[in-house]
Amino acid sequence: MRPFTLLCTALMCSAALVACQMTDDPDLSGSDIPHLRKQGTATQLIVDGKPFLALAAELGNNSATNLEYMKPWWPVIVDAKINTVLAGVSWARMEPEEGKYDFKVVDGIIQEARHHNLRLVFLWFASWKNSLSSYPPSWVKKDFEKYPRAQTTGGKSIELLSPFSDANRDADARAFAALMRHVKEVDGDHHTVIMIQLENEVGMHGDSRDRSPAAEKAYENPVPKELMDYLQKHKDTLVPELRQQWEAAGFKTSGTWAEVFGPGRVTDGIFMAWYYARYIDRIAEAGKAQYPIPMFVNAALYGIGRGTQAQPSGGRPWDQVMDVWKAGGPKIDFLGPDSYSDTDFVAFCDRFTQSGNPLFVPENMGGPDGAARALYVFGRHDGIGWTVMGLEDPKLVHPDVDVIENFGILKQLTPLITAHQGNGTMSAVLMRTPNDPSQKISLGDFTLNVSFYSPPKMFGVPPPKDPPPPAAAIFIATKPDEYIVAGYGVKVTFTPNMPGPPLAGLDTVEEGGFVDGRWVPGRTFAGDDSDEGQCVMMDKKGIVRVTVYRYR
Ligand code: DGJ
């Protein structure tokens, strides 16, 4: 049997058997509630027993607090080929009086989503939202003695519930457990709600760490044994920035935070990351005890820097402190980057897939940039999902044709993508400009030489848009000599990477699409449409099936 086929078969057999142990949750592999499962090197979200790709949109922060407001938007969401909606659940709206829960809006959103055949990821807007606390109910906000605030240098309180207060934590956890108990009751058999985001873009505000009395006491205390044990156990696989910080202070195995990691704002961030992770882990635990669907946190990336040098995170769930979040938050399934940066998306995907962290992008811009990223997340990083932010924001372009087109391609490819995730038979590129270097991708028996496609100047053909939109394409080796290329703006040639005749030629090039997983060919390309057989040209957004052969 040829090496490529052997590889696939072996990987596919082993992958299917291994359920995911991302957290120390009970083994959910057999259950049919939404859960995570390993396939080869990938982690997949399983919904109704099948791998699910979340083609998602996030509503405005408060859109899901009013059912009438949402009414006109559901058809828009469906038309945009979105299959998952990220919707905020406000603690204040859900528990206006202590212990009295109002689930009317939650129920309405679930029913509407189910009616429109959509899945939901609820965003638990509770203790924290964007590093502040605008979503706790009044009875929490007003009782600041019982529910203390974080403080900045000089003891100045800020509108941020302190992560060093058990009362804050337990009030949030009780409410969240009530929400998950209710979601299980009303949706446990339907699985409309597939995941939960815990809080939103947490992290210290206005200072590098909380300076409240409880926080200062914790800072002077020794680093908790659980964290020291984790660091020693994972010493060789820690994210480089954290390891450097610990090494620079002498790899101590005990001592205060400043002794173990060295004094300073980076250590303040490590300290805050531990306490945010511990706090949110307790909320996840309370919720999963009721209904253990996957739960994650999202990260704002402002100030994160370009890697290599740790930055003061204020506790944000950045890759640099990913190990601290994993040690402190074993009930949290993954960290999701809200990457709006124009330039560093590819780097952020690499950084947030370290240590086996599955890639789910909870927020991103739309348009050609966002749409290109969606292809890259699923094809290059076996992503669980990608989300366009603020779907119904009147400021944004509606409909977002680029996102809709790419979601259309991803929807067609879902059975193929989920079959190949984690098996080394799929990859993708994202090229922002024609100046981006070409890439070599070894996939199956051939190496794909991928470059940014610049259409040849043709008489009578208007010059292309300047600057051209970013190029992105997914490549799937479906057979030893057959590939699916899906996307836009790239040119691909092939080179054999196995012993045998040294040259590769294009045998067949077909445009087409998938209907219920079955290939439906369109035109067959040669001549102008393959540069006389020299390359696959994705000058038009779409899907192409290519077979290659070798000669000398
Ligand atoms: C990121 C936050 O997560 C969102 O809720 C929103 O506040 C955007 N920033 C800004 O619109």
76: tokens are: 């828009």
To test the pocket of ligand 1, the residue of 61, 129, 132 to mutate (highest count of ligand atoms within 8 Å of its CB) is: 61
Smallest CA separation from ligand 1 atom 5, residue: 61
What pTM does this model have? 0.93
What's residue 27's pLDDT? 60
What's residue 57's pLDDT? 96
To test the pocket of ligand 1, the residue of 129, 198, 201, 297 to mutate (highest count of ligand atoms within 8 Å of its CB) is: 201
Q: How far is the CA of 364 from the centre of ligand 1 (A)?
A: 10
Q: How far is the CA of 334 from the centre of ligand 1 (A)?
A: 19
- Contact status, residue 513 vs residue 485, Cβ threshold 8 Å: no
Rounded CA gap, 523 and 509, in Å?
9
For residue 421, which of 339, 345, 358, 330 has the smallest C-alpha distance?
A: 358
What's residue 401's pLDDT? 92
Pairing of strands 149-152, 446-452: unpaired
What's residue 418's pLDDT? 98
Counted residue by residue, the chain has a size of 552
pLDDT mean for each 10 residues of the chain (552 residues): 43 42 55 93 97 97 96 94 98 98 98 98 98 98 98 97 98 98 98 98 97 98 98 96 96 98 96 98 98 98 78 91 98 96 88 96 94 98 96 75 96 97 97 95 97 76 75 97 97 95 97 96 95 93 97 96
What's residue 496's pLDDT? 97
- Contact status, residue 57 vs residue 391, Cβ threshold 8 Å: yes
253: tokens are: 């195995």
Smallest CA separation from ligand 1 atom 11, residue: 390
Rounded CA gap, 158 and 149, in Å?
6
What's residue 26's pLDDT? 56
CA distance between the termini of the chain: 23
